[in-house]
Chains A and B, each alone.
Chain A
Amino acid sequence: MVQEEADEALVARCRNGDGEGFAALVRRYERPVFNLAFRMLGDREDARDVAQAAFLKALESLHRFDARFRFFSWLYRIAMNEALDVLGRRGRQTELTDVHAADDDPMRDAQSADLGARVRFALGELSPDHRAVLVLRHYQELSYEEIGRVLELTDATVKSRLFEARERLRVRLADAEERQ
């Protein structure tokens, strides 16, 4: 049985200038980081750019990584900040335009019958802060404590924001169902 090398060991190899250590970290986290970016942004190309930027920033900042913390929390924080920057540049208006355009597009109407598509649209209507906690909890399956480390929030804030985000998503989904 092959034992996978721990993140801490791979990070140490990276810090010692071992490029294979970095390649192993990319291999381990490329899917979750891309997934996180896609759930936040709803666009494959933007998600690709954000995920790539996150890995490169992590590499450049590795000397600042505090080894007392989990590597993936730190990496996810970098990826989330990159995604939030993209959302900030896009602006709220763009997001809403994209979502409402679906109502006039027969193909998208057909897609919206699919629950997954409706969720994606509804997520797109939430604020980035609410979307972030939902993505980290439901797609990355992080605990409250881990979400707090990624978003630099207290556990209490994570809980209240997560509960509020679920409630807003519930309302959006109910609205979408009524419109159909």
Chain B
Amino acid sequence: MDARAVELINLDLDGRLDAAGRAELDTLLANDSAVRARHQQLRLVARALASAPAPDLPLDFRDSVLRQAQLRQRSNGPAGLRRHWRGGLALAASVLAAVVVLRVAQQPVATDQVTGTLAPATPTVTAAPAADGLALTFDIPAGPPGDLVIEFAGGRRIVVADVGPGRRTVQVTGAGDFSATLVRAGVVTPVARRSP
């Protein structure tokens, strides 16, 4: 096939045809069945590429990167830099260590930690028994979207990504001790307990 025809077809796929190129391609498509066939085939190739679903990001990917970064900064970075990184990355990398453990399921609800507000200054959660486990209702304060990290005793971990401000209910199976944190731009905030 003519190299110019191939170029025009590809530019068309990439949305890079100008008016003159468009007219030239249209003429070729109208008069040349081989160009028509190739155009159609390459459109199918582009569609096939687009059809492949995006892979899921491993749940602990970010934590793992931030932990590694913190370790490297401790061992390699300049002394001045290390001090700053301890403050910033330590928060982001220590999701598991920074959490407040909440007791739920058959446990009585604590009353001394009630905030009782729908627009809390800090993230809060209420837990209620549900059919197969628990219904966790989070109230997220104003700010950018963040990830809710819920970790159960025994290591089971649930991450709810890109949670914006407002109320969000998460149904989880099973019951028992769990901890929750809100991670926003690497800043880890423990989720406080609130009575239902």
A and B: interacting chains: yes
Residues of A within 8 A of B (CB): 2, 4, 16-24, 26-27, 30-31, 34-35, 38-39, 44, 47-48, 51-52, 55-56, 59-60, 115-116, 118-120, 134, 137-139, 144, 159, 162-163, 166-167, 169-170, 173-174
A34 lies within 8 A of B61 (CB): yes
> With A23-B185, A138-B49 in contact, is A2–B143 under 8 Å at CB?
yes
* Smallest CB gap from B84: residue in A: A17
A-B contact pairs, 7 of them (CB 8 A): A17-B81, A19-B73, A19-B92, A19-B186, A20-B187, A44-B55, A59-B72
Bound: A20/B49 CA distance, A: 35
A23 lies within 8 A of B7 (CB): no
> With A30-B61, A34-B61, A166-B10 in contact, is A20–B90 under 8 Å at CB?
no
B49 lies within 8 A of A134 (CB): yes
Query: How far apart are B145's CB and chain A's nearest CB, in angstroms?
Result: 8
Query: How far apart are B104's CB and chain A's nearest CB, in angstroms?
Result: 28
B7 lies within 8 A of A163 (CB): yes
User: Which listed residue, B45, B58, B66, B69, touches A48 by the CB 8 Å rule?
Assistant: B58
The 5 A-B residue pairs with the shortest CB-CB distance in the complex, in nearest-first order: A23-B186, A19-B88, A17-B84, A19-B89, A116-B52
User: Which listed residue, A4, A17, A20, touches B83 by the CB 8 Å rule?
Assistant: A17
B10 lies within 8 A of A19 (CB): no
Bound: A162/B14 CA distance, A: 10
User: Which listed residue, A31, A56, A115, A170, touches B65 by the CB 8 Å rule?
Assistant: A56
Residues of B within 8 A of A (CB): 6-7, 10, 13-14, 16, 41-42, 44-46, 48-55, 57-58, 61-62, 64-66, 68-70, 72-73, 76, 80-81, 83-92, 143-144, 185-187
A167 lies within 8 A of B6 (CB): yes
Bound: A169/B83 CA distance, A: 51
Chain B residues in 8 Å Cβ range of A39: 52
A17, A55, A59, most chain B CB atoms within 10 A: A17
Chain B residues in 8 Å Cβ range of A22: 66, 69, 88-89, 186
B53 lies within 8 A of A116 (CB): yes
Query: How far apart are A171's CB and chain B's nearest CB, in angstroms?
Result: 10
> With A162-B10, A163-B10, A170-B42 in contact, is A119–B69 under 8 Å at CB?
no
* Smallest CB gap from A114: residue in B: B51
Chain A residues in 8 Å Cβ range of B85: 17, 19
